[in-house]
Amino acid sequence: MNITARPISQIHPLIATRVSPNIFSCRPVSTPDLLALFEAARWSASAGNEQPWSYLVATRAQTEQFERMLSFIDPVNLPWARLASVLVIGCARLTLEHTGAAYATAEHDLGLASANLVFEATARGLGVHQMTRIDRDSIRASFRIPQHVGVISMLAIGYAEEHSAATNDLRHTRSPLRSRKPLESFVFSES
Ligand SMILES: Cc1cc2nc3c(=O)[nH]c(=O)nc-3n(C[C@H](O)[C@H](O)[C@H](O)COP(=O)(O)O)c2cc1C
């Protein structure tokens, strides 16, 4: 996808070129590539090396599981999410493994692992579009996820496509100009 950030300072191309695609091609993700994404997540940093993340995965070839995952996605996300090759649910254990105490940075640490996954995907030519608009209660019930594990996000993974006849409408849903708040709005020193 030809939408690159225009950063003020030089940053790594993996960061500058990553986007959340809203058109995916039907090309499947190979098993070695898919495993590499989770391997990248596995090597993420986490507080006390707690590794609180867990992922539920369905590839398009697993028709029943894939449809099940689609059923938890908000209709607003479905036009592009249904085109993904792989759907993933990201969860975080909200308690420390050995004491059961609250894990203050559990969701943050899942985010770090997912960021690793996203950049490994980018390096392999894959795109990842993450989702917050999902039915968490239904996911919890359907997959019997215990209460001490948070259902946090979903990830649609696949090869981004510029456009195709089947996705002509989606092409216009993203502005070619990507924007971010300026550094001075979120980097502070004295107060
Ligand atoms: C945790 C998370 C949840 C997101 N949820 C949604 C979502 O439900 N629907 C959607 O269209 N985009 C979603 N996004 C994508 C963001 O809108 C997107 O990252 C942001 O607009 C910046 O665009 P970019 O990723 O292409 O740089 C989500 C991103 C993240 C990280």
For residue 143, what pLDDT is reported?
98
Q: How far is the CA of 20 from the centre of ligand 1 (A)?
A: 6
Q: How far is the CA of 87 from the centre of ligand 1 (A)?
A: 15
**CB under 6 Å to ligand 1: residues?**
19-20, 77, 130-133, 153, 178
Q: Does domain 22-165 have CATH number 3.20.19.10?
A: no
Residue whose CA lies nearest to ligand 1 atom number 21? 20
Residue 132 DSSP symbol: S
Locate the domains of the chain by residue range.
22-165
Q: How far is the CA of 133 from the centre of ligand 1 (A)?
A: 10
Compute the average pLDDT of residues 17-37.
96
Question: CA–CA separation, 96 vs 45, rounded Å?
Answer: 15
Quote the pTM value.
Answer: 0.93
pLDDT tens, residue by residue, 134-170: 999 999 999 999 999 999 999 999 999 976 555 555 6
Average pLDDT over the chain, rounded to an integer: 92
For residue 186, what pLDDT is reported?
97
Compute the average pLDDT of residues 68-82.
98
